[in-house]
Amino acid sequence: MNEIRFDGRVAVVTGAGGGLGRAHALLLAARGAAVVVNDLGGSLNGEGGDDAAASKVVREIEAAGGRALASFDDIAAPEGAQRMVDAAAQAFGRVDILVNNAGILRDKTLAKMAPADFEAVVRVHLLGSAWCSRAVLPLMQQQQYGRIVMTTSAAGLYGNFGQSNYGAAKLGVVGLMNSLALEAGKFGIRVNTVAPVALTRMTEGLPFARTLDEATPERVAAGVAWLVSEQCDFSGVVLAAGAGYFSTVRIVEGPGVHLPADQITPEAVAARWAAISAGEGARPFANAGAALLAAFSR
């Protein structure tokens, strides 16, 4: 394959002041993109703010000969996301790529979690991804081209103790991807999701973090760069990426059973549970309509 380049393209990366976002921004810039480096500069739990993180990444890009712009907008608010995108369009004339990467953590079991902590995490991860995507859509639709990447997590795909807020938000962005891919596809916009495994400040406190020496953000960024490239012409894919490992993740539905109308009882469901829960022959569906059609046609 020819080298994947982004010359003439403009990318917006949220949460790009460090970790995964920084790696995404640096790689896209090294491959020719002008990059808007967005980071509020807050703490891991989303408190405070500091311009230093985003500004430092911008200086790194410029020192290497690239073009970059710092953004300190709070993308969890629709007006903040819009200001960031407006600044990108004003500085570089267009927006071709959006990487929704920004996130915070406020871990605690749901029974002990304050409502504000649940809402704050959902606001940044899920609503932030929605507001940023909403802000770039008019530009991408006018261009008849765009690439959007969401960021999910194993905590959302499979669950993790003490992360109900984070897990809910991270699976939420997969649902956002699925619908947005259908809505934006006719405009040449492709929407996909990365499920990263990397040693960053969000994972350094985990018990298994010491085993992640090879799980650098740069090894995830390679997968993201593929997803936002012109050559990537598909939508609706979740790409697991970390430590050199890449795989796609699918939500599938088993073949199930169809009970006769006069036998639809709790007892019948229990009696047929082995067949209902069987995984052999499971398959993904392109959209909700296809899943419903399959259910009613059995």
- If you count them, how many residues does the chain have? 298
**Catalytic annotation, pick one of 145, 158, 166, 245:** 166
Dihedral of the CA atoms 208, 213, 218, 221 (nearest 10)?
-30
Active site residue 166: yes
Q: Cα–Cα distance between 236 and 140 in angstroms, integer?
A: 17
**Which H or E element spans position 69?**
strand 68-71
φ/ψ of 204, rounded to 5, equals -65, -20
Q: What is the largest CA-CA distance in the chain?
A: 73
Q: Cα–Cα distance between 165 and 121 in angstroms, integer?
A: 6
State the CB neighbour count (10 A cutoff) for residue 56. Answer: 15
N-term to C-term CA, the chain: 43
Using the structure block, give the residue that is written with the tokens 């598909």: 234
Q: Cα–Cα distance between 177 and 149 in angstroms, integer?
A: 8
Write down the H helix ranges in the chain. 19-30, 52-63, 78-92, 115-122, 128-143, 154-158, 164-184, 217-227, 266-271, 273-276, 288-296
Using the structure block, give the residue that is written with the tokens 């010491």: 210
Tokens of 217: 């953000």
Residues that are catalytic: 166
